[in-house]
Amino acid sequence: MSKKLFISSSLFSKEQTGSVEFQISYLTNRVLKLTDHLKWHGKDYSSQRGLWKILGKRKRLLSYLSQKNLASYENLINKLNIRKLKIR
């Protein structure tokens, strides 16, 4: 149910739900919800593990997007207000 609400309230249409940009924005929404949950339930280690997995997946998708389309990557970073990837 919440995924349908997110699709209807997001900037993307239903045809773009598989795009990298949509996946990153959806994962960012889940990160925000989990961090809010962990503020109240600090010892919920299962949720912490889930958050780490979501952050890892989002990081991989951001890395892919930065390699394929740098302009879209920078636009999405600014729109979602998240930090850029560290370059080693």
Position 5 in a domain: no
| Local structure of 64: helix, strand or coil | helix
Position 7 in a domain: no
Position 8 in a domain: no
Q: How many domains does the chain have?
A: 1
**Token representation of residue 74:** 């920078």
Position 15 in a domain: no
Query: What is the residue type of 48?
Result: Q
**Token representation of residue 46:** 């299962």
Domain residues for the domain of 61 are 20-80
Return the pLDDT at 10. Answer: 60
Query: CA 53 to CA 10: how far, in whole Å?
Result: 23
Return the pLDDT at 14. Answer: 65
- pLDDT surpassing 50 at residue 27: yes
Position 6 in a domain: no
Average pLDDT over residues 28-55: 96
